[in-house]
Amino acid sequence: MKTFISKLGGERGRPQEGAPVSTPNNANRGERVALLIDAENLPAYLIARIMEEAQSVGPIVSARIYGPPSVIGTDLCLRAMETTDLKPVVCKGPAKRKNSVDIRMVIDTVDMVLAEDADVFAIASGDSDFLPLVERIHRGGKKVLGFGSVTTHKEYRKACDRFVAFETGEKAKKQAEQKAFTDEDLGEVLREGVVRYAEEDGWCNISRLSDWVHEKRPGFKPKDFGRSSFHSLVSSLSGFDVMRIKGGNGYRVRLAQSGSK
């Protein structure tokens, strides 16, 4: 245990909750991180924030997300795996076997501890049943970066070298989805909407297009993209033509034609 304490920077023990896992002497943030996400206990919209936090500690040498097919196969999980190096670990088994994900995560983690594959284990779950696993990781001389909700049991939170607590619920979900909604995502949703609702001349009513974007991304606001109105936002994007309706206050949109923007 003395060796482990010395790695944290002295006799005071583990850093306080919320403190960096890495010590000031580790300026290069060279600690190898193994990230294991329990998709059953943490919502998929938190994946981007979890990975960002883990990467702030050091390079992620292994990133895995665990869950049954019904969870791993959701749109949010699939999207996260398409845009990151997350490896899906599909845990199948009888419906009553609720702990199949936990068991697989424990086995993989202990294997990596024994193989010295990582210096920090980022466990994204918030399930206090993982407390014995945290203790096992510490006995192996490794550190634990824990992730969970604000309601995660305090004993588990204190056992981790650092614990990151997330707000969950519908409000947090909408905020996370909006934050993850990039310019590229917006362009894709807009193109899909124009194609879907365009009239015979190729033009789409902009109010219908606005409704479409809000349906696809609840909480969407043009000001989050630096614009005061929806039509000014669409006008600023390449790939679209915007026309004011003669004699009215509305606008129409179409996919940019050759020779336009």
The number of beta carbons lying within 10 Å of the beta carbon of residue 82 is: 8
Residue percentage of the chain with pLDDT more than 70: 76
> How much is the pLDDT for 48?
80
Tens-place pLDDT, residues 157-175: 999 999 998 876 665 555 5
Q: Which two tokens stand for residue 121?
A: 């284990």
Residue percentage of the chain with pLDDT more than 90: 36
Strands 251-255 and 240-244 turn out to be antiparallel
> How much is the pLDDT for 201?
92
Helices 206-216, 183-197: crossing angle, 10 deg rounding: 130
- Residue 158 near residue 12 (C-beta atoms within 8 A): no
Domains of the chain with bracketed CATH: 2-169 (3.40.50.1010), 181-255 (3.30.420.610)
> How much is the pLDDT for 91?
85
- When mean pLDDT is compared over 97-101, 105-109, 217-221, the highest value belongs to 105-109
pTM equals 0.57
Tens-place pLDDT, residues 229-261: 898 889 988 889 999 888 767 899 999 886 555
Residue 21 has pLDDT above 70, yes or no: no
The number of beta carbons lying within 10 Å of the beta carbon of residue 226 is: 9
The number of beta carbons lying within 10 Å of the beta carbon of residue 166 is: 20
Residue 7 has pLDDT above 70, yes or no: no
> How much is the pLDDT for 260?
58
> How much is the pLDDT for 259?
58
Across the chain, mean pLDDT equals 79
Q: Which two tokens stand for residue 38?
A: 């329990």
Tens-place pLDDT, residues 179-238: 556 666 788 889 999 999 999 999 999 999 998 888 877 667 788 777 888 988 899 888
Range 16-27 average pLDDT: 40
